[in-house]
């Protein structure tokens, strides 16, 4: 893999979900980085290459929607794919209006 290879960033507080998504992404030959929290993701160096973010909406501390809002304040351009086991229509509308 090169620096221009896409990276899928997976952020979820549930270890089993993180590991399952990591295995899935790696099974198709893509690079994946996993994080247990939005705060942990924000502490990594900025990334400007190709890829996407797979983000749990409901997490302790900074939620996925909060992280989306924080990233919108920067020049973050990668697409965000939200996942949740506890979604609501208003939550979906909020995420879509913010660019998910």
Residue 94 pLDDT > 90: no
Region for residue 54 given its phi and psi (left: phi exceeds 0; alpha: psi -120 to 50; beta: otherwise): beta
* Weakest mean pLDDT among 3-7, 47-51, 80-84: 3-7
Using CB atoms within 10 Å of the CB of residue 94, give its burial: 0 to 12 exposed, 13 to 18 middle, 19+ buried: middle
Region for residue 72 given its phi and psi (left: phi exceeds 0; alpha: psi -120 to 50; beta: otherwise): alpha
Domains by residue range for the chain, with CATH: 7-97 (3.40.50.2300)
11 phi, psi to nearest 5 deg: -125, 110
Residue 78 pLDDT > 60: yes
pTM attached to this predicted model: 0.82
Nearest CA-CA partner of 77 in 53, 44, 56: 53
């Amino acid at each position: 893999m090169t620096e221009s290879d896409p990276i899928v960033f997976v952020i979820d507080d549930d270890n089993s979900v993180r590991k399952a998504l990591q295995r899935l992404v790696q099974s198709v030959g893509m690079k994946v980085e996993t994080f247990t929290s939005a705060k942990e993701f924000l502490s990594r160096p900025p990334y400007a290459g190709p890829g996407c973010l797979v983000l749990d909406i409901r997490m302790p501390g900074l939620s996925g929607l909060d992280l989306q809002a924080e990233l919108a304040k920067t020049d973050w351009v990668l697409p965000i794919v939200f996942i949740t086991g506890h979604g609501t229509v208003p939550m979906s509308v909020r995420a879509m209006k913010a660019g998910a």
